[in-house]
Structures are given as C-alpha cells and as structure tokens.
Amino acid sequence: MTDSVATPPTRPSGPRADRPLSRGRTDTWRHPAWVRLAHWLNVVAVVVLIMSGLNILLAHPHLYWGVRSTFADPWVSIPPIPNWLLIPQGRNLAEARNWHFLFAWIFVLNGLAYLLLGLVTRRFGRRLWPTRADLKGIGPSVVEHARFHFPTDDHARSYNVIQKLTYLAMILIVLPMMLVTGLSMSPGFNAVGGVLLDIMGGRQSARTLHFISAGLIVGFILIHVGLVIWTGLFNNMRSMVTGWFVIEPPGSTAGPRLRRRRPTDAGDAS
C-alpha cells in the first residue's frame, strides 16, 4: 500500500538497488527475509490462536466483567460457532488448550524476534514510525482511504500514515494486550507474582479483555487483507514472499479510476 501525501523518496527504499522493468515500471526492494518469515509465522500463530481460542470460549460462551461470573447476567453471550472455525474440529477444551498454549509460545517468541530485529536494524524508525510530515498529511490520507483511491506509483514506496499508525497500534498495543490479558489468566503466572489479574480487575474482566483484543485482531485482519487485495493482491503478496515490490509509472492508482493522478498532484490526495 501507499503514501500519496508525503513527497516520494528519490532513493531506493531498501539496501538493494531498484531494477527497471518494462512499460516504465520499477522493481523495488521492500521486505527483508526476517520480516517476511516473522509475518507469515505470525499469521499462522494468530489464526491457530483465534480458532483454538473460540473452541476454549465454547466451554462457557458467556463474558462478564469483574471477578466472578454472574451466570444470570452475562455482559455478552456468544452465539453458536460453526465447527470449521474451531481447532480442533468439534468442541474439545483439553485439546484446544494444548493448541492455544503451544501457538502462544510461537507467537511470543516470533513477536519478540520481530521487535528486536526491527529496533536493531532501525527498520521500525525508517518504515513504520510516522514522520511529522506524515502526521500533517493525516487528513488527506483519511480522504484517500474513504475513496478507496491509493497511488501505486513512486508514492507507494512507503506506507501511508494510516497504515503506519495501524501497524504500530497492532504491534505495540493490540497484540501485546492479547498477550498480557492471556498471561494474566495463567495459573502458573499468577502463582509467581499474580498482580496482572488485579490490574485487569479480576478474572472475568481479563477474559473479556482477552476476547476484545482477539476481536480487534480479527477486525484488523479483515481490513488488512481487504486492502491488500484492493491495492494489488499479486504485487503485495509477491513483496511479502520474495521481498520485491513493483512501482507503477507516475500517476498510477489502485481503486476506482476516478481520475489519473498527475505528478503535480503530489500534495493532493483527492
């Protein structure tokens, strides 16, 4: 996806030089191997966590706030969930917990490696942290999203500001929230310190917050995958598989062909 608001960078966006392609297109280096590996491992881990989590939830499909479950008065009651959304297929609390805890470890170790490498290589600062200019362009970026109208030319070298803020919110807030709320319910963790459960406001609140973070992740996945498809499924997937991303000639856009963007429109996201 893209950044139509900030000035397009003139240098290649990665350590490898651009490769010219036919019809004025350019292949540019976008994702190092560790990002691609961490991303796809994270996808597998999150999907298994959500599907096994739904199976665990079915053991008592009601959510409450506070310390105790007040059976007569749940905050939310979960409707029946189809079998194909569960790991393992069919209700099975013991096996679902095994899957959930195994993939929680994979998720944590993979996330820590991604965070560490992102900081050490300074990729977070370069690629994900919004600049002042990015933040000033947030209004036009909102308009761009509302119109589903994203540039695929040189502006696509960097993430747009909404994309940067959303990725950061996932990486720094929602995914850690899922982890911390999950950890707070672990009897083993509580046995050695146990303050997290009090901070959450009790076991039922922790359970509900864990469910809300999982819901936010599902919402993110739906929008994220929708935009990946909209802005060029093949090109985006190729970049997350091989590292290389195609930049289209100046003025190219993804989305409705309302109007071709001209190079002079650089500061205009409409």
Q: Is 162 in the site for ligand HEM (CB under 6 A)?
A: no
* Count of chain residues binding ligand HEM (CB under 6 A): 21
Structural element, H or E, at residue 50? helix 33-57
Please state, in angstroms and rounded to a whole number, the distance separating the CA atoms of residues 176 and 160: 23
Q: Is 230 in the site for ligand HEM (CB under 6 A)?
A: no
Q: Is 224 in the site for ligand HEM (CB under 6 A)?
A: yes
Among candidates 7, 10, 12, which has minimal Cα distance to 30?
12
The binding track of 105-144 with respect to ligand HEM, each residue x by CB under 6 A or -, is ----------------------x-----------------
**Residues near 227 by Cβ (< 8 Å), separated by ≥ 6?**
1
Smallest gap from residue 107 Cβ to ligand HEM (A): 9
Binding to ligand HEM in span 171-210, by CB under 6 A: 171
Question: Cβ closer to ligand HEM: 118 or 137?
Answer: 118
Question: Cβ closer to ligand HEM: 29 or 64?
Answer: 29
Q: Is 1 in the site for ligand HEM (CB under 6 A)?
A: yes
Report the residue from 173, 199, 237, 258 that binds ligand HEM according to the rule CB under 6 A. 237
Structural element, H or E, at residue 77? strand 76-77
Q: Is 170 in the site for ligand HEM (CB under 6 A)?
A: yes
Smallest gap from residue 20 Cβ to ligand HEM (A): 20
Question: Cβ closer to ligand HEM: 104 or 170?
Answer: 170
Q: Is 42 in the site for ligand HEM (CB under 6 A)?
A: yes
Q: Is 152 in the site for ligand HEM (CB under 6 A)?
A: no
Report the residue from 17, 21, 43, 109 that binds ligand HEM according to the rule CB under 6 A. 43
Question: Cβ closer to ligand HEM: 61 or 176?
Answer: 176
The DSSP string of 120-174 is: HTTHIIIIISPPHHHHHTHHHHHHHHHTT-EE-SGGGGS--HHHHHHHHHIIIII
Helix 203-230 to helix 33-57 angle (10° resolution) is 130
Contacts of residues 108-115 at CB distance under 8 Å and 24 or more positions apart, as own/partner, are 108/179, 110/38, 110/41, 110/42, 110/45, 111/38, 111/42, 111/175, 111/179, 113/34, 113/38, 114/34, 114/35, 114/38, 114/42, 114/171, 115/171
- Local structure of 240: helix, strand or coil: helix
Binding to ligand HEM in span 11-40, by CB under 6 A: 30, 35, 39
User: CB count, 10 Å around CB of 78?
Assistant: 14
Q: Is 167 in the site for ligand HEM (CB under 6 A)?
A: yes
Contacts with ligand HEM, residue ranges (CB under 6 A)? 1, 30, 35, 39, 42-43, 46, 127, 167, 170-171, 217, 220-221, 224-225, 228, 236-237, 239-240
